[in-house]
Amino acid sequence: MSFGAAVAPAPQLVGSCTAGTTDRLAPQDHCVQSAGGDGISSLRWSSTANHLVSTNWDGGVRCWEVQEQGGQIRALPKAQVNHEGNAPVLDCCMSPDGNTVFSVGADKAVRMWQLGQTPPNNVPQQIGSHDQPIKSVGFLKSSNMIVSGGYDKMLKFWDARQPNPVAQIQLPERVYDLDVSDSLMVVACAGRHILTYNVQGQPQEHERKESPLKFQSRCVAAFPDNTGYAVGSIEGRVGIQYVTKVPGKESFAFKCHRDGNNVYAVNHIAFHKGYGTFSTVGADGIVNFWDKDNKQRLKGFPAIHRTITCAQFNAQGNMFAYASSYDWSKGSSQHAPNTPNEIFVHHVQDEEIKPKGKKSGYR
């Protein structure tokens, strides 16, 4: 896909790679230029090309073209749009063809950006709305609908060609995160509520339950094979939950992102589509790669000494993007105004993410 002459005005060079090599997972990790002037809330890759999209608390939605050759990576800033009034953008997703970005945030709007086009006033088209800020968004392949979940305790389903929601579902609490993988959608709400839906056609609730973790849910991610999901909490713990019976597999939970008596939030979980293994990133500045089937940690990277807010594998699984910015886990008193907001891209070695065979217990 070519962005052509329709690229938006060049983003300001903020968040432009001032960190040393100790502030990334590996010295050769590529630092992405123009990552934004405030916290990075989400990262998404196109499923059809190596286009990386981020959302930020500064109101920006940014896109890069990422190139990899022989393990060497570089990211070229391509375009940027901004939510109205530079309202914080909290999440985004992409259409299956990789041409459209859907974003949500504090302006209570669901917005659509056609890559390669510059919208009027550089503000993406609004296709939906909630009564409160919108925390998360996903795309339903089977119906070509967009789903959004907000602090108004609502799930809403949108057809980009219609101004009103196609359907809406009242939830027990505010949405903290949601994820979609083909026919499975999982929604994590305040109050430790977790709901799963079959979204093959008309959305149907499959199950609602209390999180297996004792503290507030921070993130959820559906398994690539749609048999279950992983949920992460603020208390350095991950739950692996099956919604479909799989022979020899049972739900379980394990501790992570801890250092002695210090416990850190699991900020994001991302699955590798090829191997079904996954990453966790945390408020401790650490990235781990895990194998849920063999219950083992595949790779633990050195701490980068800054909180990591989100991460994502590309479609091919050979690149891993992760964002470093303050996550507010220690409140405003620990916020330093000059905290860098940076995105790095790590070249994934097969031995880092490929299952190694069965061992006993997580290590």
Please write the tens of the pLDDT for every residue from 189-239: 999 999 999 999 899 999 999 999 999 999 999 999 999 999 999 999 999
Please write the tens of the pLDDT for every residue from 169-185: 999 999 999 999 999 99
- Catalogue the E-assigned strands of 166-245: 167-170, 175-181, 184-189, 193-198, 204-210, 217-222, 228-233, 237-242
Q: What are phi and psi of 232, to 5 degrees?
A: -115, 150
Please write the tens of the pLDDT for every residue from 308-325: 999 999 999 999 999 998
pLDDT at 20: 53
Q: What's the chain's average pLDDT?
A: 91
Q: Residue 150 is encoded by which pair of tokens? A: 């907000």
- Global confidence as pTM: 0.92
163 pLDDT band, cuts 50/70/90, is confident
Bridge-based pairing state of the strands 175-181 and 184-189: antiparallel
pLDDT at 329: 77
Looking at per-residue confidence, does 340 or 126 come out higher? Answer: 126
Please write the tens of the pLDDT for every residue from 4-49: 333 344 333 344 575 455 588 988 999 999 999 999 999 999 999 9
| 303 exposure class (CB count in 10 Å sphere: 0-12, 13-18, 19+) | middle
% of the chain at pLDDT higher than 70:
92
pLDDT at 16: 56
Tell the residue number behind the tokens 């191997």, with chain if given. Answer: 275
